[in-house]
Structures are given as structure tokens and as C-alpha cells.
């Protein structure tokens, strides 16, 4: 066996990766979490307003605004040239989910913080209502675009999961919004929040399993190494937290706070797991080369006359 051959017969250049690992730091998965929380919370706030649950509406709005406000500093801190963050708004570029997302965050952050400020001061009611509508319209895209952003790379474990990741991030966002509202609102008025947390957690865990099953070999990084460890932590925290919220959390504020905190910790772990899986997937040339080799062979078999690949 030559040095260019991996153990399973796949050939590579001294086992070196084909792709570059992402250069993103922990701020990015933290933003996946806060962005999701902000997006789903602003929808929750408006829905609660329409349903007439005043406490839930107010607190979800404030949670959404807080999450919206911490998001830009996280993103700016991760830039290689933070002082040039405004360059994100030089262009609007559909082919770049990061460009689209920057504008979505700008609109969402502006609208949600305006709505929260006016709600708090009790001024300019029509503007406040308009801001709430805008912020909840931007909420859905804000909660899921980060999944599209990572899917739109050459990293196999992200790119091949492009049909599932937006739903995974979306359900994680709904669970985060539900859990944080269940912490902030007394149990008697937090019914919808608890249901969202429990429902989001269940959907997310089922989706994650289905996604891994469908991906097969390419999906291995999700259950290996650091990504795999955080996936297990996430499962334990989210399901445990959901169980607390579903039963004792209905009466006991303490149980609701503990359950909500567990779900939030779990959601953060889910983001971290997906994030790190991308690094693991890019690092091992197997995940890049093997599926491409299969694809190339199935297309060109038998070998073409001109010897091209």
C-alpha cells in the first residue's frame, strides 16, 4: 500500500483534507442560537398578543429584542476585520445566504428593538404594531437562514443535509423561544410556551435521527468525536427539560425554570454539535472524496474514451 492510500482503499494526498475547515469561532454557533431565539420569540410575541395573553406577549417580545441585540456583536466579533462590518451592507446578494441573512437580521433587529422600546415606554402605538408585524415576518427567515448558510458550502455533512437542516434549526428555534418564555412567565400563563418547548424538542430530535439515517456515511461526523458528544448532551438536556416542562412545570415555577434552562442548554448544544460536525467532515478527505468518486464512476462507467474524469 502506498502512502497515498487510506486504510479502506480510498486514495488521497498523504491523508490530507481536500477542503479547508471553516475559520468560524464559537461566536457563530452562539449566534445560530440567539438568532433562532430572536426569530421564534418575535413570532411568539405577536401570536400571544393576538391570543390576548398579555404577559406572554410582552415577555416574548423583550426576550426577542434582547436576543436580537446580542446577535450583531457576536457576528462582528467573529469577523477577521471587525472594523469593516458595515461592508456587509455594501450589496444585497441573493447568491450569498450570509448577505441575505445580514439584511434579515438588520430588519428583524431594528423592528424588534423598536417594538420593544415602544412597548416599554407605551408610546406611538401604531408604529409599535407595525414594528411587531415586521419583526414577526422577519422572524421565520431569521430562525432558519443560518441553516441555509452552512448548507451552502462544500462541507459534505452540511451540504448534503440541506433539506433537513433548516427544519432542524427551525424546530430548535421554536423550542428555544418556548423554553425561555416558560422561564420568564408564571406557569399559569405559560401554557403555549411550554407546548412550544416540548413540541420543538420532540420534532428536533426526531428530525436529527432521520437526517443521520438518510445521510449514511456522509452523516457520520454528527455522531463522532466532539459533535457526537454534544449531540448526546443535547438529547439528554432537551428531552429531560421537556419532561420537566410537560408535567411539574405546569404548576411549579421552579420546575419550569429548571426545565426551560435545560432545554436552552440543549439547544445551544445542538447548534454546537452541528457546527463541529462541519469541521470534522471537512477535515477527513473520505467524506469529500468517496461520494464524489462514486458519483463520477456511476456517470462515466465504462471509462470514457478521452480519459477525462
Partner 1 sequence: MKTLAQPTGSPAAWPDTYGDDARERMGFFTDTSICIGCKACEVACKEWNLVPEDGMVWTGESYDNTSELGANSWRHVAFVEQNTSLRGDGQADALRWLMSSDVCKHCTHAACLDVCPTGALFRTEYGTVVVQEDVCNGCGYCVPACPFGVIDRRHLPRDSGDPPAEILGLQLGKAEDGRVWKCTLCYDRLKGGHEPACAKACPTDSIQFGPLDELRERASKRLEKLQAEKWNGARLYGHDPGDGVGGFGAFFLLLDEPEVYGLPPDPVVTTSHLPSMYRTAALAAGAVALGVLAGFLGGTR
List binders of partner 1 among 241-280 (CB under 8 A): 278
3-state secondary structure of 309: coil
Q: Confirm if 231 and 276 have CB atoms less than 8 A apart.
A: no
Measure the CA–CA gap between 50 and 44, rounded to whole angstroms.
10
Residue 309 exposed, middle or buried by CB count within 10 Å (0-12, 13-18, 19+): exposed
Q: Which of residues 208-237 bind partner 1 (CB under 8 A)?
A: none
For partner 1, the closer CB: 124 or 303: 303
For partner 1, the closer CB: 9 or 121: 9
CB of 99 to partner 1, least distance (A): 4
For partner 1, the closer CB: 186 or 216: 186
What grid cell was written down for 115?
A: 417594538
Choose one: 63-71, 115-123, 214-222, 301-309; the region binding partner 1 (CB under 8 A): 301-309
Choose one: 4-12, 117-125, 214-222, 246-254; the region binding partner 1 (CB under 8 A): 4-12
Is the peptide bond prior to 302 cis by the omega test (within 30 degrees of 0)? Answer: yes
Q: Which of residues 163-192 bind partner 1 (CB under 8 A)?
A: 163, 166-167, 169-171, 173-174, 177-178, 188-192
What distance lies between CA 211 and its chain's CA centroid? 15
Q: Which of residues 63-122 bind partner 1 (CB under 8 A)?
A: 76, 78-85, 87-88, 90-91, 93-99, 102
CB of 124 to partner 1, least distance (A): 26
Q: Is 37 one of the binding residues for partner 1 (CB under 8 A)?
A: no
Choose one: 114-122, 138-146, 227-235, 245-253; the region binding partner 1 (CB under 8 A): 138-146
Residue 9 exposed, middle or buried by CB count within 10 Å (0-12, 13-18, 19+): exposed
Task: Count interface residues toward partner 1 (CB under 8 A).
Answer: 101
What grid cell was written down for 235?
A: 438529547
| Residue count (the chain) | 309
Residue 294: C-alpha distances to residues 18, 213, 300 (Å): 16, 19, 10
For partner 1, the closer CB: 47 or 233: 47
Q: Which of 132, 282, 284, 287 binds partner 1 (CB under 8 A)?
A: 282
Q: Which of 141, 228, 236, 248 binds partner 1 (CB under 8 A)?
A: 141
CB of 255 to partner 1, least distance (A): 18
DSSP-assigned states of every residue in 67-91: HHHHHHHHHHHHSSSGGGGGGGGS-
Amino acid at each position: 500500500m502506498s502512502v497515498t492510500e487510506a486504510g479502506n482503499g480510498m486514495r488521497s494526498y498523504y491523508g490530507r483534507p481536500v477542503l479547508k475547515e471553516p475559520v468560524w469561532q464559537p461566536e457563530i454557533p452562539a449566534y445560530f442560537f440567539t438568532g433562532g431565539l430572536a426569530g421564534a420569540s418575535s413570532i411568539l410575541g405577536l401570536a400571544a398578543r393576538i391570543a390576548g395573553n398579555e404577559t406572554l406577549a410582552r415577555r416574548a417580545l423583550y426576550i426577542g429584542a434582547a436576543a436580537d441585540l446580542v446577535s450583531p456583536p457576536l457576528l462582528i466579533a467573529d469577523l477577521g476585520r471587525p472594523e469593516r462590518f458595515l461592508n456587509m451592507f455594501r450589496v444585497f446578494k441573493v447568491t450569498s445566504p450570509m448577505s441575505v441573512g445580514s439584511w434579515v437580521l438588520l430588519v428583524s433587529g431594528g423592528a424588534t428593538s423598536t417594538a420593544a422600546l415602544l412597548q416599554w415606554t407605551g408610546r406611538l402605538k401604531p408604529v409599535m404594531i407595525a414594528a411587531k408585524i415586521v419583526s414577526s415576518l422577519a422572524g421565520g427567515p431569521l430562525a432558519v437562514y443560518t441553516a441555509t448558510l452552512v448548507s451552502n458550502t462544500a462541507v459534505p455533512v452540511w451540504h448534503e443535509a440541506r433539506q433537513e437542516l433548516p427544519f432542524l434549526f427551525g424546530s430548535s428555534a421554536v423550542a428555544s423561544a418556548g423554553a425561555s418564555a416558560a422561564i420568564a412567565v408564571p406557569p399559569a400563563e405559560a401554557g403555549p410556551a411550554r407546548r412550544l418547548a416540548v413540541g420543538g424538542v420532540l420534532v428536533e430530535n426526531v428530525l436529527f435521527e432521520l437526517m443521520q439515517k438518510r445521510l449514511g456515511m456522509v452523516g457520520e461526523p454528527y455522531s463522532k468525536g466532539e459533535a457526537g458528544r454534544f449531540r448526546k448532551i443535547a438529547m439528554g438536556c432537551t428531552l429531560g427539560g421537556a419532561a420537566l416542562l410537560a408535567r411539574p412545570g405546569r404548576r411549579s415555577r421552579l420546575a419550569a425554570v429548571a426545565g426551560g434552562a435545560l432545554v436552552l442548554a440543549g439547544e445551544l448544544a445542538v447548534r454546537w454539535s452541528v457546527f463541529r460536525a462541519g469541521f470534522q467532515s471537512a477535515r477527513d478527505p473520505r467524506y469529500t472524496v468517496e461520494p464524489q468518486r462514486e458519483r463520477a464512476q456511476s456517470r462515466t462507467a465504462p471509462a470514457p474514451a478521452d480519459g477525462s474524469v
